[in-house]
A and B are shown apart, each in its own frame.
Chain A
Amino acid sequence: KNEVEQSPQNLTAQEGEFITINCSYSVGISALHWLQQHPGGGIVSLFMLSSGKKKHGRLIATINIQEKHSSLHITASHPRDSAVYICAANTGNQFYFGTGTSLTVIP
């Protein structure tokens, strides 16, 4: 069993839809990261969370430490949001990466 599980693996949405990507982890963490990987491969760090909720523009990330669960939400999705979203659990010594959620937003 992987230390970090993401769902869904693939997601197709119509432009404007509200999107949720889920991440469950089994290790003790100092922080939980959400990363965005564009089709060309480049990675952008979206959020680092240790508790509660963070918001950047149309992106919202939440974490429930007790349940070991985090969600990434995208409001009013846009085709440019199409990418792979990766959840990563940071134990302080090591990162454990999820396999990613491939999001395609159709105009």
Chain B
Amino acid sequence: GAVVSQHPSWVICKSGTSVKIECRSLDFQATTMFWYRQFPKQSLMLMATSNEGSKATYEQGVEKDKFLINHASLTLSTLTVTSAHPEDSSFYICSARDLLAGVEQFFGPGTRLTVL
């Protein structure tokens, strides 16, 4: 099956710094990538949808200036958490939609962010 990778798998940073998380589709072209956030004991929540070459669409309540998403190629999307604060500590997961596979999404393994 299709593989999606994320890097890093975990990151610890100081409050006020910015953190970049990469999401890559390894063996397929992903026209659309999705970013999710999961707080402990809660379900996945969609943050934004990014289409290659265009601006991301953010869900209500997600600050686009704080969570910068770039989808510059068909195999790479990045999420940058700017000026991170402890409340941004969460598990961030991306998924990618294969152009040829229709509606199926393939999930990355996730990135655990801890902001001290």
Q: With A31-B104, A35-B107, A48-B104 in contact, is A86–B112 under 8 Å at CB?
A: no
Q: Which of B42, B43, B103, B112 contacts A41 (CB 8 A)?
A: B112
Q: Which of B1, B44, B91, B103 contacts A97 (CB 8 A)?
A: B44
- Asked if residues A94 and B93 are in contact (CB atoms below 8 Å), the reply is no
Q: Is B106 an interface residue (CB 8 A)?
A: yes
Contacts across chains A and B counted by CB atoms under 8 Å: 43
Q: Which of A33, A48, A90, A100 contacts B43 (CB 8 A)?
A: A100
| Smallest Cβ-Cβ distance to A35: which chain B residue | B107
Q: Which of B42, B91, B105, B106 contacts A90 (CB 8 A)?
A: B105
| Smallest Cβ-Cβ distance to A30: which chain B residue | B103
Q: Whole-angstrom distance between the alpha carbons of A92 and B108 in the complex?
A: 19
